Amino acid sequence: MVHLSTWVNPALGLDRFFENMSFNYNTGYPHHNIVKVDDLHYKVELALAGFDKKDLSVKLEDGRLTIEGKQEDKEVEYVHHGISTRKFLKSFRLVDTIEIEDAEFTNGILSIKLSNNLPEEKKAQNIKIK
């Protein structure tokens, strides 16, 4: 199991939102993106070709976003089976100020919209110099 308690990729320009976001998953499957929409909104995107909405579960519990996917066995004889549809569990620890806006599954991409709702006292302040 890979556990990154602090994950920041400075090449992507991600900010403090991700300093406390940790990832816990067994493999890199399925591949995912984290997209910064603006300073307060983000999306987690998972590439899930071959899955259907009914095969997926998205949960938020105790500050952990968990995405699970599993399909029932199909009676199919493949000549070549290159599209992986194996069972997976991917989990993201979210900071306290993050809320899930919604989840959408379109064209094989699961998008989970996140909003960073900082209280006024935690927002950046400009200090007037006297």
- The stretch 2-17 carries a mean pLDDT of 38
Does any domain span residue 78? no
Confidence class of residue 8 from pLDDT cuts 50, 70 and 90? very low
Residue 5 DSSP one-character state: S
Does any domain span residue 36? yes
Does any domain span residue 104? yes
CB 47 within 8 A of CB 108: yes
Q: What is the reported pLDDT for 7?
A: 37
pLDDT exceeds cutoff 80 at 88: yes
Phi, psi of 12 (to 5 degrees): -90, -10
Confidence class of residue 28 from pLDDT cuts 50, 70 and 90? confident
The predicted-structure confidence for 37-59, as pLDDT tens digits, reads as follows 998 899 999 999 989 999 999 99
Whole-prediction pTM value? 0.72
CB 116 within 8 A of CB 42: yes
Does any domain span residue 57? yes
89 lies in which domain range? 2-73+85-119
Please state, in angstroms and rounded to a whole number, the distance separating the CA atoms of residues 113 and 35: 9
If one counts the domains in the chain, the total is 1
Please state, in angstroms and rounded to a whole number, the distance separating the CA atoms of residues 17 and 93: 11
